[in-house]
Amino acid sequence: MFSFKNFIENLQSKPEQTRIRILWVSVAFCMFIVMSIWFLSFKSFTNKSQANNSNLLEPKKKFFQLPEKFKKEAEGIPSWDELEEILKQAPLNK
């Protein structure tokens, strides 16, 4: 029967150089697993994003339409020169 405690004791009894080699092999193995999971999830994400590409472009289209909307809204607002004239004509309360 495999015991984790016996495995650790056996590992501790090995020379330091061997323990360091085992350490780096285990780190490389774990990193391979993490990178594989990341790669597979990234591939899945890009497939889904290509399917929903039209939904992603909709906010971009709306964003670039904002200046036109601001121009339409600003048509009734007087310019700075017009505001200065209005202020010059207004009576000041002293």
CA–CA separation, 27 vs 85, rounded Å?
75
Q: Nearest-CA neighbor of 56 among 67, 46, 42?
A: 46
Q: What is the domain partition of the chain in residue ranges?
A: 4-89
The pair of structure tokens assigned to 28 is 């490389």
% the chain with pLDDT above 70: 74
**Res 27 pLDDT > 90:** yes
End-to-end CA distance of the chain: 99
**Mean of all residue pLDDT scores within the chain:** 79
Predicted TM-score (pTM) of this structure: 0.44
- The mean pLDDT value for 24-41 works out to 94
DSSP assigned state of 76: G
Residue 26 has pLDDT above 80, yes or no: yes
pLDDT tens-digit map of 48-87: 655 555 566 666 667 777 777 777 777 777 778 888 888 8
For residue 14, what pLDDT is reported?
Answer: 93
